[in-house]
Amino acid sequence: MTAAAYAEFLPENYRSARREPESTWWEWRGRRVHIARDRRPDAPVRVMGIRGAGGHSAALWSFACLAADDDVDILFPDMPVYGRTVEPHPSQVRYCDWIDLLCDLVAAERADDPRPLVLFGASMGGMMAYEVAARTGQVAAVVATCLLDPGDPQGRVAAARWGFAGKVAPSLLPPVARVAGDLRLPIRWLVRMNRMSNDPDLTRMCESDPLGGGVRIPLGFLADWFTYPHAAPEDFTAAPVTLVHPAADRWTPPEPSLRFLDRISAPTQAVLLENCGHWPIEEPGLTRLIATTRAVITGVAAQG
């Protein structure tokens, strides 16, 4: 699906605010990674969008453009098996590969361009943005719609397609993955993709998108996510973290994310997006998401 197709679900007053992406490519460990960009060489701040399971750069491009005003440089990579990234061994992709890729991309981008970099993580991408900031120490701020810690039992129950599976996933999935880790199954079979949006038409489009919710992921990827040792929030001082969680999220409720945010040692801010589902297209929460993200970017720019 195209960025324009997803943009049609935004409120009408936001549909004309699109900036078309430029497709670029980055070679990483034998992969050809697609990165959508809107280059603004004179902008004081750069924003990298990160999307988790079920999304890709085109799907989230409109949000990136809305949250970042015209004076922000944007890049949005497609993770392996999603979007237009060319992955030679899709059955072998693991969650740790995604984290390694993003850390290396941040390092490469910062080496070429010293402007401050803000990470905007949507859904599962929120925890990825947090982890990349912790590991690289090169991120100016993190904005996340969700901080779903797989170490939190309630978070696992929310993530899994069937709640009971989330409870036992850390003990059940690793031995299964040792035998069948390369087996690829539709992501919608494994997580609650049917709760992606409170708009049923948007949910159906996400589930059927061959570049997003329609992909197949290996069981080994899921096992790796459920057992990945994320950085301890009590030790996290890498960057300020702003949580912009949809208040009417029927997939991942705000409570697990708020609990995790409360444990972070760095400066934090929590903003609930009124009336918004997991994919936040509803008002007034969408406007609040845009205003909060732009305020974070403005603050980073002011600090130089």
- Spell out the domain ranges in the chain: 3-303
Q: Exposure pattern of 71-99 as b/e (b: 16+ CB <10 Å)?
A: ebbbbbbbbbbbbbbebeeebebbbebbb
User: pLDDT tens digits for 88-143?
Assistant: 999 999 999 999 999 999 999 999 999 999 999 999 999 999 999 999 999 999 99
Residue 158 has pLDDT above 80, yes or no: no
Residue 22 token pair: 């430029």
pLDDT in tens, 56-81: 898 888 877 777 777 899 999 999 99
pLDDT tens digit string along 160-180?
554 444 555 556 666 766 777
Nearest 5 degrees, angle CA 268-CA 270-CA 274? 165
Task: Decide: helix, strand or coil at residue 87.
Answer: coil
Determine the straight-line distance between the first and last CA of the chain, rounded to whole angstroms.
Answer: 37
| Residue 146 structure tokens | 């969700």
Query: 195 near 278, Cβ under 8 Å?
Result: yes
Q: What does the pLDDT average to over 223-246?
A: 95
CA dist., res. 241 & res. 287, Å (int): 19
CATH superfamily to which 3-303 belongs: Alpha/Beta hydrolase fold, catalytic domain (3.40.50.1820)
| pLDDT, tens digit (0-9, with 9 covering 90-100), for 183-230 | 888 888 777 778 888 999 998 988 888 888 888 989 899 889 888 999
The rounded distance, in Å, linking the Cα atoms of 254 and 282 is 16
How much is the pTM? 0.93
> What is the average pLDDT value for the chain, to the nearest integer?
89
